[in-house]
Every structure is written in structure tokens, then in C-alpha cells.
Amino acid sequence: ARLGKFAQTSEIGIGPDSPELPRPKRPLLDASKLRAHEGRESKPSWASGQSAERLPPSRITQETETVHRTRCHTNCLEKPLSRAFERLGRCVGSHPWIFLLVPILLTAALGIGFIYLPKEEEENLEEQYTPIGSPAKAERRFVQAHFTTNDSYRFSSTRSSSETNFASILVVSNSETLLESEIFEEVSKLDQAVQTLSVRKENGAPIHYREVCAKYRTFCVPSNPLLYVWQRNKTLDLKTFTFPMHNFKNHFIYLAGFFGGNTLGDAVGQNHLLLETKAMRLLYYLKTEVKEDSEQSKEWLVHFLDEFYNLKEKLAFKNIQMVHFTSLSRQLEFEATSMTVVPLFHLAYLLIIIFAIISCYRFDCVRNKMWVAIFGVVSAAFAVVSGFGLMLYIGVPFVIIVANSPFLILGVGVDDMFIMISAWQKTSLMDSIKERMATVYSKVAVSITITTITNVLAFYTGIMSSFRSVQYFCIYTGTTLLFCYFYNITCFGAFMALDGKREILCLRWLKKPDQKYSSLKKACCLPFSSVPDEQGTDIHPMNLFFRDYFGPVLTRTMSKFFVVVIYILYIISSIYGCFQVQEGLDLRNLASDDSYITPYFNVEEDYFSDYGPRVMIIITESINYWDEDVREKLEKCIENFKENDYVERNLTEFWLHTYMDYMKRNGQDPNDKDTFMNGMSQFLHKFPAFTYDINITSNEIISSRGFIQTMGVSSSTNKKIMLLQLRETAEKCEIPLMVYNQAFIYFDQYAAIIENTVRNIMVASTAMFIVSLLLIPHPMCSLWVTFAIASVIVGVTGFMAFWNVNLDSISMINLVICIGFSFDFSAHISYAFVSSTKTSVNQKSIEALYLLGYPVLQSAISTIIGVCVLATAKAYIFRTFFKIMFLVMVFGAAHGLIFIPVFLTFF
């Protein structure tokens, strides 16, 4: 359970009737005795499990001196907070309807904020799931400022600074190779069918493919260069083409990325014969630069998505299979995933309500808190409505991963409810409602406050993340937890006070049945009609299980040996897994499992993973290109790029190389500035593709760019290494260089995710350590809390790899969360151990488990129940949340119930 749930044990704050209570350390015990002597009820430390004890008058002076001499600093926080809550409890008990209705009205008012919940607005994946201020975004701004493109006349996808609108079809042959005329004929029919698709505007005018396609001169850019050549001369021998470049009538055709699953033959110059190929890519680029053209392109793409399956069924090809994808697919499919969890909300609430009823149900009909437990879940729902409504009011963007938050809030938010119910059941039925509420609030004040502080701190540290989606999730969840805290001490407390009046009525009816009491009042006393012990206490059987069975077995020598062996295996497996975990968010995981983009990416990974993005090498400043020394330095830098393991050295494209050959053929001197600059216009006229690679202003080359082809970067690790190595090579060059590709916007997450995760974990862990020092002023406790946090984080991270969970912005949220939960699980167990006055370490451990074992178990179960429904979700982002929260709860509870109780006995 969270920190606060530890207060719900049957012994904490019960009073002198509590059986077998532990004796706390001297300062805390003396303070309790002194307060008892002064005629006030003892308010023991939030984790000590103490009860009041009367002091003989002869010892008052001595104990007072001890208190002043060794006063525990936690009292500076505990005492005033307990008194403030005691006064609040009296107010709630005196005016329950006010404290019930005002929060409900506040919920209704804040709930209006849901009108601002985005319905059709697109969630920008780049903005939410890529690092804020990443280097690639600055590189893109530079490219956009210094280089232009023209997708209406001379389109080039490699020269675009941002992703263009496109549709892509991967064609896979059912036979060994696609290089057969019969198969090419089917692919050609598919190509023609796609290009004949048209969609009508709202005004009824049709939008044809030729109107929206990106053009090279006056023609649409071919979907596949080899297919384009074959369509114009179907007598060509398809076995004579070379890969990755083919010289067709002195024009080089670039085939890398258009064919996959290749079998290459003999070398032909720097290329090889393409003997067999299994898959082919068809790319339909559409206009993007002009807003009106882009909107029409998107309309055509939506129509393409709607018609593709009909087209596939109509063509019914026998020799090929097809998968498709568009530039809109990730966005559309990602937005659709949010709808997959809506039905799960109802199931989650039902499960939590059932769990709350079972946890709070008592055979004592008067003390039965079934309806109070149900309202506690409703109170958590109020917190979700209020927290989300407030955030929407003030304009905090709602991103899809925030949809995970209500499931977590349900599991965590009911914890304080259990504490308050448990404390209520330790009060006497003979006391007034006002006094009983004062007692309850004074007992739970510190525990539920510390619970809220630790959990909210853990979430708010996530605001420092470089990923906006993480920031927004943490803001929504942290704020909602604060509302949970507020509603628990107001409207839930008020409902509990009203239920206290029911207890009195039921007790009176049981003592003296009278027909004047309505059948409703009789029903509230079902299922049993026995008169409860008015002065009795409610000790849960699970507490006795931990004291009489679990604790003694765990502290046996043989059991300790097995626990140590299990922990060694656990930590070794976890450390190994930490080195196996993959980094970064795979964009295919943003869609649901049954999405059409999943098979597309699978085929792409199987057949098209050899070649990566084509990267720009940008000369960012004006240099003397006509200076031979400068050219030598630049050429040395280009060679350094070619020597990289992730670069295909034979596919480099650089205008300066072509210009030097051009000048030499024309007998011009490339070392003369005037000759160099004057020949540029004629060169660009002859080689127009380089027009957009050279920024000439006032007869000076401000900046220019070339291109290199990357390869072997299919995994996230290779993408990160490639990106860092290329940037490092650019920085080391004597010429000012920059590398960029539009895919780097997403590759930057691989480099940033570990840094962000480590920073957030360090900050949150430091915050937890400070909290433990301030509120649990015992060095040994702080050390064990730190140990538990580190151990759980290592375990969760390591087992993520075994459960196929990447370290990305989604899992990073959960790693930060687990810090707060690890603190909750470990702090009280270790403090109860060191505070015990039992004579042996085994008895200390048993006592700690007796006091706190069941709350730890109950809290872990409640949280798992809250998120377990996400295991059935069809989307990765929701299943990942369940997986990591499950690991956090299991490992956290294992540390609190098994590892720490055993390890403490060794010291």
C-alpha cells in the first residue's frame, strides 16, 4: 500500500486496548507518555505503530527532560498537522452535509472543463513524442532557412526538410523473385489503378491523382523508377539491371530502397547485377508545400486508405501480396487507439468497487463499510473529473497517454479511503460522531499526507522531462492525486460521518427492535443481526496471518537462504536485462495491434532494412570553394563520412564533385574565383537537380549540401550510434558542417531517452531521500529506502527487456512512478523494524510484517486491479502501462514483504 495505507493496520492508533503493541524508540515513546499524562490522547509517529501508555507521576519529570533532550524532529511536522486534522475532523463530523455537497458542486463546476476535450484536433506526434529542443529540430530550421524545394516542378524527397505527403505500397512476390514480366504486369496494373483514384471535394469537383502528385517537370514522380522504365519498354530484360544504381541511357537510376530481399550477382563497376528480388516499393509522393495543395493531397490519401481494400479485392492478383501505408497513417491510427480503452473504464471501476467491497466488508453488520467503500471509489472518480477538468480549463493539452491516468488513479486513489475506514473502525461506538471523526483525522493525518507528498513529488518530477507527452501525463496525474487527497478529507470523510449515524440507528435497532424503524434501516444491518461489541476492535485476519504464519516461516534460517538466492538471481537477471533493453518509441506501436500499418512495417523490416535514410551533409557557412586547400579539407571530411560503418561509400552525391569534373572537361580553372562563380549558372542549367543544393546570394555561396546513404540502421541502437557518430564526424571537421535528415527528428529520442530517464530518476530519488530524512529521522531507514528504490528500478528496467517493452517516453513515466511506490513499500517496513524494542532481529521483522504486511499487499493488489484491464487493450501504449505497473507493484511488494524483512535481520 502507499505510505498512508500502513496506518490501517489494526494496531496503529487504537489506544490502550491494542494487543501486543510494539514499544517504540525512546524519544517517540516518551513523547507519547508525556501527552498521555497531560490528559490528551496519544498521537504516535505515523509509522511507529505505537499506542498511548500512562506514565506514573513519579517519572513525569524524568521523561519530560528526556523529551527535551532527545526530541525527535518528526514531531515538528506530526504534532501541528495532527492537531489541524483533528480540528478538521470535528468540523466534518459537525457539518457533514456541507463537506459532502461543496466538493460535489466543485466537481460539477470543474467537470464542465471537459467541453474543451479535443475531439477532432490532431495530436502532433512529433511535438509530443520527440525531445523538446532536440538538435534535429534546430538543424531542420537551418535547412528550411537556407534551402528551397519545389514539389510542383522539380520534386526530390531526399531534399525535403520535413516529411511530405505520400502513399506507399509494398509488393511481395509469392515466388522467388519479382523480376518476371508476368509479375511486373500485375504490379503495373496496380500502379495504374492507384493513379486513377479520384475523390470529390465538398463542392463536387473531383480531385485526380495527377492534380495532387508531386511533379518532376510536368510529369508525376514515378512510383518506382525501374517499373517506370519497364512500362515504357516492356521488352527490357529485367535480369540486366544493376543494384543499387543502374545506368539507363547515361542516366543513373537510384534503386536502393525501392527493392528488397535482393540476390546480387557479379560486380558491374561499383554496382552488382540484380539477379533476384523479393519485394518492391511503390511510392506516390503528393504536393505538400502549399497549404491548399497539401489539404487536397490529404483528402486524396484518405480516399486511398478507404479504397485500398476494395482495390485489392477487385484486382485479385495471384502472384503478389500487398501492404500499404501513408503519411497520415500513424496519426489516424494513433488517434483511433484512444477509443480502444473507453470500454475498459467501466470494467476498471467495477473491479475496483468489488475489491473495495471485499476489503471493507465485515460480518459485523453495524461496522460494515460496504457502501462507504463504494463511495470511496466514487470519490476517486470525482478527483479524475475535477483534475482533468481543471487542466482542460487552463489549457493543458490532453494527449492520448493521459488516458492511462484514470486507471492508475483508481488503484492509488482508494488507498487513503482504506486508511480512514480502518481508523474509523478502531473508534468506539459510544463516542459522538464529532469526536470519532476528530480521532480518525488525527490518526491518519500524517500518513495520508506523506502518501500524497511522495506520490505527487514522483509525478511532478516528470515535468522536467524533454518529452511533452510525459510532462502532460505527469501534470494531469499529479494534480488529480491532489484532488484525491482533498476529496478524501472532505466529501469522503463527510460520507463516513453520515454512515456513522447509520451505525447508531442500526445499533439501537439491534438492541431494541422496534417496528417504527423502517425496513430500510433493518436492511442496513444485514446480513447478520447480532449486537456488536461496542468497545471491541477490528483486527483483520490477514494481520494475524503475517504474525503467526508468514513472519515465522520467513525468518527461519533455510527460508533466509532461499530468499538470498532468489534475490541474487533477481538482481543478476535484472542487470543483464538492463543491457538488453531497446531504446526509443517504435512508431508502429502507436497504432492498435490489428492496424494495417503493422504488417506494413513487418514487411519493411524483413525486406527493406538494408538501407537507412539519405543524410544531408550541409556546409553551414560561406567558404572559398575555389581554394584548393579548402576543397582538400572538405574532401577529407567527406572521406571520414564514407569510412563510417553505417555509410555506403559508393552512393555519395555532392555537387562539388560533379562541378569539378564539369570544369575540367571544359578546360576551366577551378582555382580562380571569377571562373568558379561565373560558370555556376551554366552548370546548374545543365544539372538542374543541384539547383536546390546551393544557396547563392550576391554572387556568394552562403551554404551548400551533399548527400550520403546510410545502411544497417534498422535497430534503435544502431540508429542512435549512427546519429551520434555522424554528428561527431561533422563537429571534428575543419569545415563547418552539419548533418540532417527528416528522420533525425525521431532518432533524437534514442539519444535523449536515457539521459531524461536517468535525470528524472536521480531527481525523484533525491526528493524521496530528503523526505525520508525529514519524516523518518533514522539513517538506517533512509539507507534501506534508497536501497529498495534502486533495486526496484533496476528490476523493472531489466525485466522490461524480457517482456518486450522498450525504454521510451511511455515506459519512462512508469520508471519515475515506481520511485514513489518503492518509497511507500519500503519506508514503513524498515522504520517499524528499527523502531521495535523486541529482543531479537527475527522478532523485529515479524512485528514489522504483523503491523504492515497486509497494507503492503492490499495496496499492491488494488493498484494492479486498477490497471489490469489495460492488459486486454489492443494498443501498445496501454499494455506497456499495465506491464510496467505490474512489475513495479510485484517487485515493490516483494521488497517490502520478503527481501527487506530478511535483509534487516542480517544487521
pLDDT, tens digit, for every residue of 126-148? 888 888 888 999 999 999 999 98
- Cβ(469)–Cβ(129) below 8 Å: yes
- Cβ(42)–Cβ(36) below 8 Å: yes
What cell was used for 230? Answer: 519497364
The secondary structure of 402-438 as a DSSP string is GGGHHHHHHHHHTHHHHHHHHHHTTS-TTS-HHHHHH
- For residue 529, name the pLDDT band (cuts at 50, 70, 90): very low
Pairing, β 198-200 against β 245-248 = unpaired
pLDDT at 809: 73
Q: What is the pLDDT of residues 562-572, one digit of tens each?
A: 999 999 999 99
Comparing 818 with 619, which gets the higher pLDDT?
Answer: 619
Q: What is the pLDDT of residues 737-765, one digit of tens each?
A: 999 999 999 888 887 888 888 888 888 87
pLDDT at 897: 92
- Cβ(891)–Cβ(792) below 8 Å: yes
CA distance 637 to 854: 65
Q: What is the pLDDT of residues 260-295, one digit of tens each?
A: 999 998 888 788 899 999 999 999 999 999 999 999
Cβ-Cβ contacts under 8 Å for 116 (sequence gap 6 or more): 392, 393, 395
- Cβ(168)–Cβ(325) below 8 Å: yes
Q: Residue 64 above 70 pLDDT?
A: no
Q: What is the pLDDT of residues 703-738, one digit of tens each?
A: 999 999 999 888 888 888 999 999 999 999 999 999
Residue 271, SS3 per DSSP? strand
> Among residues 500, 508, 415, 511, which one has the least CA distance to residue 455?
415
**How far is the CA of 680 from the CAs of 36, 69, 330, 621, 626, in angstroms?**
96, 89, 42, 18, 12
Cβ-Cβ contacts under 8 Å for 699 (sequence gap 6 or more): 677
Share of the chain above pLDDT 90, in %: 39
CB atoms within 10 A of CB 53: 15
CB atoms within 10 A of CB 401: 25
What cell was used for 621? Answer: 557557412
Q: Residue 528 above 70 pLDDT?
A: no
CA distance 655 to 680: 11
First to last CA, the chain: 26
Of 66-70, 254-258, 328-332, 898-902, the one with minimum mean pLDDT is 66-70
pLDDT at 783: 79
When pLDDT is averaged across residues 379-386 and rounded to a whole number, the result is 92
Residue 376, SS3 per DSSP? helix
pTM, two decimal places = 0.77
When pLDDT is averaged across residues 384-388 and rounded to a whole number, the result is 94
Cβ-Cβ contacts under 8 Å for 636 (sequence gap 6 or more): 733
pLDDT at 850: 86
Q: Residue 162 above 60 pLDDT?
A: yes
pLDDT at 62: 39
Q: What is the pLDDT of residues 30-56, one digit of tens each?
A: 333 333 333 333 333 333 333 333 333
CA distance 616 to 700: 21
pLDDT at 621: 93
**How far is the CA of 361 from the CAs of 8, 365, 648, in angstroms?**
15, 9, 69
Q: How many helices (H) and strands (E) does the chain have?
A: 34, 18
Show the DSSP H helices in 803-875 as ranges: 809-835, 841-868
Rg of the chain on CA atoms, in Å: 35
Q: Residue 555 above 50 pLDDT?
A: yes
Indicate the residue type of 736.
P
Q: What is the pLDDT of residues 674-691, one digit of tens each?
A: 999 999 999 999 998 899
Share of the chain above pLDDT 70, in %: 86
What cell was used for 287? Answer: 504536393
Arithmetic mean of pLDDT over the chain? 82
Q: What is the pLDDT of residues 226-242, one digit of tens each?
A: 999 999 888 888 888 89
- For residue 78, name the pLDDT band (cuts at 50, 70, 90): low
Question: Residue 54: exposed, middle, or buried by beta-carbon count in 10 A (0-12, 13-18, 19+)?
Answer: exposed
Q: What is the pLDDT of residues 627-679, one digit of tens each?
A: 999 999 999 999 999 999 999 988 999 999 999 999 999 999 999 999 999 99
Q: What is the pLDDT of residues 304-361, one digit of tens each?
A: 999 999 999 999 898 999 999 999 998 888 777 777 777 787 788 788 888 887 877 7
When pLDDT is averaged across residues 456-475 and rounded to a whole number, the result is 86
Q: Residue 22 above 70 pLDDT?
A: no
- For residue 449, name the pLDDT band (cuts at 50, 70, 90): confident
